[in-house]
Amino acid sequence: MKIDRVTKRYGELRSTGYPSFSNTRHETELGAILESGDTAAAVGARLLELAKMEVKKDFGDKDVAQTEMDLPF
């Protein structure tokens, strides 16, 4: 078996608004095709890191840094 791509999905559910609670869920899925020299574990870890940052952006968190996801091709 040859692994030629990696996909990671990450989501968070946050509850806010005492006394009238509200649940909000944001989720993202990222994938990459492996290139020569890549390892599935390293690519998977990077994708998970990027997915977590995207979910933080969706929630409006202020501590999110710019990544290669924000740069044009």
Joined together, the tokens standing for residue 52 give: 């977590």
Say which DSSP state 1 is in. Answer: -
Which pTM does this prediction carry? 0.81
Q: How many CA atoms lie within 13 A of 13 on its CB side?
A: 3
**Residue range 2-47, pLDDT digits in tens:** 899 999 999 999 998 888 888 999 999 999 999 999 999 999 999 9
Q: Could you give the CA distance from residue 28 to residue 33 in angstroms, rounded to a whole number?
A: 17
- State the CB neighbour count (10 A cutoff) for residue 60: 8
Q: How many CA atoms lie within 13 A of 47 on its CB side?
A: 20
Q: Could you give the CA distance from residue 37 to residue 53 in angstroms, rounded to a whole number?
A: 25
